[in-house]
A and B are shown apart, each in its own frame.
Chain A
Amino acid sequence: MFGGAAPLGAQVTATTDIMLGAVGYEGFLGSGAASVAPGIRYDARTFSVAAQGSYLLYESGRGLVQAAGAAAWLSPALGPLRGEASAFGGLGSYAQAPAAGYGLARGRVHLMQRRMGTWASAGVGQAFAGADGAGTSELALGAWIAFPDLALSVTATHSRVRDSAYTDLSVSARWLHRVAEIDGIAGVRPASSIGSEGAFAELTARLALTRVVAAQVTAGRYLADPLRGSLAGRYLNAGIRITLAGGRSAVRAPDERLRSQLRLPLPLPPGAPELRVVETRLGTRALTIIAPGAGTVEIAGDFSDWQPVSLERRGGAWVFAVALPPGVHRLNVRLDGGPWVVPRGATPQTDEFGGTVGLIVVR
C-alpha cells in the first residue's frame, strides 16, 4: 500500500492538523480535547519516509505529547513480485506517566498486478513503558484493489506481545477526489487474550477549502493496541489541515503506520514485571515477581528499610519471603539494575519524592 501510493516524482509534503473534539478512553471519563499535529513526509518512486508529532491537551489540563516516524523501501519488481522493507516507531508521554513507545521492523512480499495485489508480511519489534519492555511480533495477510478514485483493502493481522495475542480482521477504503477524501477502516477483533475485543471503525473525511487549507472531521472507535502501547478509546474531532509544503491538494491520507497518534499510551506494557503476594505456611508472605526476561530482580520497600534486596530466581519468577504486618506497604522493583518501577499487581501512587511507589495491602 505504501509503495503503491507513492507518486512518480519525489515530493515533500508538510501538513499541520489543528483539531478540537471529544475523546473517551477505556477507564476514563470522556473529555474535550484540542490537538496540534504537524507532519512531514517524503515520497520517491521506491522510498518513503514520514514523521509526525502531536500535542493533545485535555480538559483537565493534562497533556499528551507523541512523535512517530515511518520509513519504507520497495524493491525492484521480480516478475509480479516485489519486496517491501519498512520500519516505524513512536514515543508518547502522558501527564506524569513514564514515556511509552514502540518500534517495529517489517518485511512484506507483494504479488502485484496493475490495479490489484496481495501481500504477506512479518514484523518484529519492541514496546516499552518507562524501563519495562516487551518483545512484539506481527504476521499479516492482505489484498487490495484500486479504481480511479477508490482503493479497497482487506487485512488480517495477528499480533503478539510477549504472551498476549490477538487477531484483527479489517476492511479499509479510501476514496480520493480532487478536493475531497474519505478514508475509513472497519473491522473486528474476534478474540484476544488482552481483554479488548469487538468491533472497531474509524472514518476521516476531508474537504479542500483552498490549495492550502482543508476542513476535516474524524471519528471512530479503536481497541487496545499493546503493540503500539495504546488504550482502547473513541473520538470525534473536527478541524483543519494546513498543507505547508508540497501536496497536489490539501487532502492526502496520513501514513497508516502513524495511526496511533493521539492515542493514550498504556500505563505499562504487558511485559512489565508483575507482583504476586502469597501467604506461606509459616505465616510470612512470599513476594513473587514474574519477570521472565530479567537477569536480576531487586525489591525495596518499607519491609526492607528501603534497602534493595535481590530476589531468588525460581524458573521465570523471582521470590522474596518476608514477614509483613497488616496494612498498606510501599515498594518498588528494579530489573537488571534499571530504574525503580511499580510492578503490576501493586497500585501505583505518586510518591513525595518525584516518582511513583507501589502500594500493596496485606491482612
Chain B
Amino acid sequence: MRAALLFAALVGASAMSARTAAAQEPRFTGRLSPAARSAVEAVLDSARQTGLPIEPLVDRALEGAAKGAADNLIVGAVRRLAADLGNASAALGLGASDDEIAAAASALRAGARAADLTALRERRPGRSVTVAAAVLTDLVALGVPPDTATAAVLAMADLADDAGYLAFRRNVERDVALGATPLAALTVGLAAEGTTDLGTRTPTRARKP
C-alpha cells in the first residue's frame, strides 16, 4: 500500500514537472532575466488557469525586454495587462475570442469602462467587437477623450462593419493631422457616417497643451 502511494506521488510529481516544463515560454530564453522570467511565468500560469489569452502577455514582456526595461517595469506591465484581460473577458462574457479579449483589454487601459464593453458586445450580437474596441483604443491615443470615443464607437455599433470603423478612424486621424482638435475631428467623422448621437454623455473637452 505504501509503495502504491509512493508510486502515485512520483507519477503525480512527474506529471506536474512535465506540465511546468511545457508551460515554460521558450521565447523568453535569453531575453528575460531569471527573476523576471519567473515572475512573468507565474502570471502566465494564472492566466492559463483562468482561460485568458497568453499571447498578449508574452508580447508585452518581450516588448519590455526589447526596449531594455528594468525587470520591475516588465513584470508590472504584464501583471496590469493580465488584470485588464481578466476584466475584459468578464465584460465580454462567454464565447469571446482571444483577439476580442485582447482588444477589449487595450480599450479598458485606454479609459473605456467594463460596462461600455458589455454594451458593445450586446449591440453587436454575432459580430466581432475586436476592431471596434481597437478603434476605440486608437481614438483615445489620438487625443479623443475616452468618454467621447466610447460614445462614438457605441453610436456606430449597430450599423458599422469593421471596414466602416477603420474608415472612420482614418478620417479622424486625417482631420487631427490637418489641425482639427480630436473632438472636432471625431464629431465631423460621425456626421460623415450619418451618426451624430453621442448618447446622453456630455463630451469632455479635448486636451490642453
Q: State whether the Cβ of A31 lies closer than 8 Å to any Cβ in chain B.
A: yes
CB proximity to B under 8 Å, residues A279-326: 300, 302, 305-308, 325-326
Docked complex Cα distance between A31 and B69 (Å): 35
Q: Which B residues touch A4, using CB under 8 A?
A: none
Provide the residues of chain A in CB contact with B12, threshold 8 Å. none
**For residue A264, which residue of chain B has the nearest CB?**
B209
Contact between A306 and B63 (Cβ–Cβ < 8 Å)? yes
A210 at interface, CB cutoff 8 A? no
Question: Considering the chains assembled together, what is the distance between the CA atoms of A256 and B35 in angstroms?
Answer: 57
Residues of chain B within 8 A of A80, CB atoms compared: none
Decide if B66 touches A307 in the complex (CB within 8 Å).
Answer: yes
Please measure, in the bound complex, the distance between the C-alpha atom of A352 and the C-alpha atom of B76, giving whole angstroms: 9
Check if B102 sits within 8 Å of A26, measured CB to CB.
Answer: no
**B162 on interface, CB distance cutoff 8 Å:** yes
Contacts of B134 in A (CB 8 A): 326-328, 361-362
Rounded to whole angstroms, the CA-CA distance of A363 and B59 in the bound complex is: 19
B132-173 interface code vs A (CB 8 A; 1 in, 0 out): 011101100111000000000000000000110110010001
A298 to chain B, nearest CB (A): 11
Greatest chain A CB density within 10 A among B135, B137, B209 is at: B209
Q: Which of A28, A224, A300, A340 has a CB less than 8 Å from the CB of B209?
A: A28
- Which A residues touch B48, using CB under 8 A? none
Known A26-B179, A306-B59; judge A361-B102 contact (CB<8 A): no
**Which of B2-10, B38-46, B112-120, B200-208 is the contact stretch?**
B200-208
Main DSSP-derived SS at the B contact region: helix
Say yes or no for B73: interface residue by CB 8 A criterion: yes
Residues of chain A in range 1-54 having any CB-CB distance to chain B below 8 Å? 23, 25-31
Contact (Cβ within 8 A) A352 B80: yes
Instruction: Tell me the complex Cα distance, A118–B198, Å.
Output: 57
> Are B131 and A305 in contact, CB atoms less than 8 angstroms apart?
no
A27 to B179 CA separation, bound complex (whole angstroms): 5
Given known pairs A327-B131, A359-B141, A363-B166, the reply for A27 and B182 (CB within 8 Å) is: yes
Taking the nearest CB of chain B, how far is it from the CB of A163, in angstroms? Answer: 15
Q: With the chains together, A232 CA to B179 CA distance in Å?
A: 8
Give A340 to B68 CA distance when docked, in angstroms: 12
**Residue of A with least CB distance to B135:** A361
CA of A26 to CA of B179 in the docked complex: distance in angstroms?
Answer: 5
A-side contacts of B66, CB under 8 Å? 300, 306-308
Q: Within 8 Å of chain A (Cβ to Cβ): is B87? A: no
Number of A-B contacts (CB under 8 A): 126
Contact A363 B162 (CB under 8 A): yes
Contact A347 B138 (CB under 8 A): yes
Contact A327 B59 (CB under 8 A): no
Is there a chain A Cβ closer than 8 Å to B91's Cβ?
Answer: no
Q: A27-B180, A29-B206, A326-B128 known; A353 and B103 CB under 8 Å?
A: no
Asked if B188 is at the interface (CB within 8 A of a chain A CB), the reply is no
Known: A328-B106, A352-B73. A363 touches B131 (CB 8 A): yes
In Å, the complex CA distance between A359 and B133 comes to 13
8 Å CB contact of B73 from A29, A31, A349, A353: A353
Q: In whole angstroms, how far apart are the Cα atoms of A23 and B209 in the complex?
A: 9
| A302 and B209 contact, Cβ closer than 8 Å, known pairs A325-B99, A347-B141 | no
Is B96 interfacial (CB 8 A cutoff)? no
Cβ A326 vs Cβ B179 within 8 A: no
- Bound-state CA distance A327–B128 (Å) is 10
Closest to A352 in B: B77
Interface residues of A in 220-263 (CB under 8 A from B): 224, 232
Pick the residue among A25, A302, A308, A363 that contacts B63 (CB under 8 A). Answer: A302
Q: Which residues of A have CB within 8 Å of B89? A: none
Stretch of A55-63, A108-116, A180-188 contacting B (4+ beta carbons < 8 Å) = A55-63
- The distance from the CB of B95 to the nearest CB of chain A, in whole angstroms, is 16
Are the C-beta atoms of A327 and B99 separated by less than 8 Å?
yes
Q: Tell me, in angstroms, the Cα distance from A80 to B163 when the chains sit together.
A: 66
B183-209 toward A: CB 8 Å interface, digit per residue (1/0)? Answer: 000000000000000000000011111
Asked whether B24 is an interface residue with its Cβ less than 8 Å from the other chain, the reply is no
A349 in contact with B141 (CB, 8 Å): yes
Cβ of A179 to closest chain B Cβ, rounded Å:
35
A305 in contact with B59 (CB, 8 Å): yes
CB-based contact B130/A326 at 8 Å: yes
Beta-carbon nearest neighbor of A350 in chain B: B141
Q: Is the CB of B179 within 8 A of A195?
A: yes
Given A305-B59, A327-B106, A355-B67, 5 new contacts (CB under 8 A):
A58-B209, A64-B209, A195-B177, A361-B137, A363-B131
Q: Which 6 A-B pairs have the closest CB atoms?
A: A26-B179, A353-B69, A306-B66, A363-B162, A302-B59, A352-B77
Mark B residues whose CB is within 8 Å of A: 27, 56, 58-60, 62-69, 73-74, 76-77, 80, 99, 102-103, 106, 128, 130-131, 133-135, 137-138, 141-143, 162-163, 165-166, 169, 173, 176-182, 205-209
27 residue pairs from A and B, CB less than 8 Å apart: A23-B209, A27-B181, A29-B208, A29-B209, A60-B207, A60-B208, A94-B209, A300-B66, A305-B27, A305-B59, A305-B62, A308-B66, A326-B99, A326-B162, A327-B103, A327-B130, A327-B131, A328-B138, A347-B138, A351-B67, A352-B69, A354-B73, A355-B67, A361-B134, A361-B166, A361-B169, A363-B165
